[in-house]
């Protein structure tokens, strides 16, 4: 079976004037379909560069990157855009929803750039389906400022899923959320993963990384740890435990 992500001796060098910055100094990484990978590392470790490359926003300086069997290194700007549109769903730290635009219209956005074009009625149907998947089927008319942070991130996840991508790419998805909402979002990720979705998530919080199946740690542009998560957390159980604790102090009804 073709791996979803295959990086071979991937290097990325930026030139700022005379100085060459080696952001990534040779990474080999293979992610199979159905995996849930957390990428960790301090700032400057090269994890952002790695994610940008995996997300087809950038191309390797040297080495090869194959996304679902497609060699990304040779593609032009617009071909990369099409690839992102069809194969990757993005979830950002800052949600990045369009303000003053309803949730369902935000979710429809990736279909706007789908080739061949998706009929308007089909767009609405799929947007609603996607919103229902993240538990917001009734909130399609709400604009982002009428939604809580957790709900906004769910809309963003619905948007990422609407084009049925091969890979869900999340960059610090819980960075702007409180701990309980974070666990809820991780719950959605785990559920999607159980349904077969491949997920790669960047985080700097170890307890968030514990919801993934596999953990990759980067330092100085190289992978230093790549192992299965031992004692993987279950969002469902965590939420149940949290509810019980809150009940004990009468915080929750």
**Residue 58 binds other proteins (CB under 8 A):** yes
Site string for other proteins, 34-53 (x = CB under 8 A): ------------------x-
- The answer to the question of residue 77 lying near other proteins (CB under 8 A) is yes
CA angle 79, 189, 165 (to 5 degrees): 20
* Residues 229 and 38 sit within 8 Å (Cβ to Cβ): yes
Which residue of 21, 112, 224, 240 would you call a contact of other proteins, by CB under 8 A? Answer: 112
How far is residue 203's CA from residue 110's CA, in Å, rounded to a whole number?
25
117 binds other proteins (CB under 8 A): yes
DSSP structure string for 84-110: HHHHEEEE-TT--PPTTS-HHHHHHHH
Q: Does 143 bind other proteins (CB under 8 A)?
A: no
Nearest to 35 by CA among 11, 3, 1: 3
Is residue 126 near other proteins by the rule CB under 8 A? no
Nearer to other proteins, 33 or 80 (CB): 80
Q: CB under 8 Å to 193, separation ≥6 — which residues? A: 34, 36, 199, 213
Q: Does 15 bind other proteins (CB under 8 A)?
A: no
CB 225 within 8 A of CB 216: yes
**Residue 219 Cβ, how far from other proteins at the closest point, in Å?**
22
Query: Which of residues 33, 57, 64, 229 is near other proteins by CB under 8 A?
Result: 57
Q: Does 85 interact with other proteins (rule: CB under 8 A)?
A: yes
108/184 with CB nearer other proteins: 108
Q: Is 75 near other proteins (CB under 8 A)?
A: no
**DSSP β-ladder status, 36-40 and 62-67:** unpaired
192, 184, 152, 145: which is closest to 168 by C-alpha?
192
Q: Out of 55, 140, 150, 221, name the contact with other proteins by CB under 8 A.
A: 55
Residue 172 is a binding residue for other proteins (CB under 8 A): no
**Residue 60 burial (CB count, 10 A):** 20
Write out the residues near other proteins by the rule CB under 8 A.
Answer: 52, 55, 57-58, 77-78, 81-82, 84-86, 90, 92, 96, 98, 100-101, 109-110, 112-114, 117, 159, 163
């Amino acid at each position: 079976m073709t791996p979803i992500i295959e990086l071979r001796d991937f290097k990325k060098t930026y030139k700022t004037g005379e100085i060459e910055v080696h952001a990534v100094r040779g990474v080999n990484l293979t992610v199979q379909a159905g995996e849930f990978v957390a990428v960790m590392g301090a700032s400057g470790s090269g994890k952002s560069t790695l994610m940008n490359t995996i997300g087809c926003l950038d191309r390797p300086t040297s080495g090869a990157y194959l996304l679902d069997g497609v060699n990304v290194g040779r593609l032009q700007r617009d071909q990369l855009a099409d690839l992102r549109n069809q194969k990757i769903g993005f979830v950002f730290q800052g949600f990045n929803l369009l303000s003053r635009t309803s949730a369902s219209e935000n979710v429809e956005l990736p279909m706007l750039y789908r080739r061949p074009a998706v009929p308007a009625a089909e767009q609405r149907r799929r947007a609603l389906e996607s919103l229902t998947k993240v538990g917001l089927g009734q909130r399609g008319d709400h604009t982002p400022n009428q939604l809580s942070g957790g709900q906004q991130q769910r809309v963003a996840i619905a948007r990422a899923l609407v084009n049925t991508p091969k890979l869900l790419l999340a960059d610090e998805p819980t960075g702007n959320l409180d701990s309980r909402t974070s666990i809820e979002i991780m719950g959605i990720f785990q559920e999607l993963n159980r349904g077969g979705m491949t997920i790669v998530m960047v985080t700097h919080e170890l307890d968030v990384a514990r919801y993934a199946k596999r953990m990759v740690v980067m330092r100085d542009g190289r992978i230093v740890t790549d192992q299965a998560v031992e004692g993987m957390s279950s969002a469902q159980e965590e939420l149940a435990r949290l509810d019980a604790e809150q009940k004990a102090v009468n915080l929750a009804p």
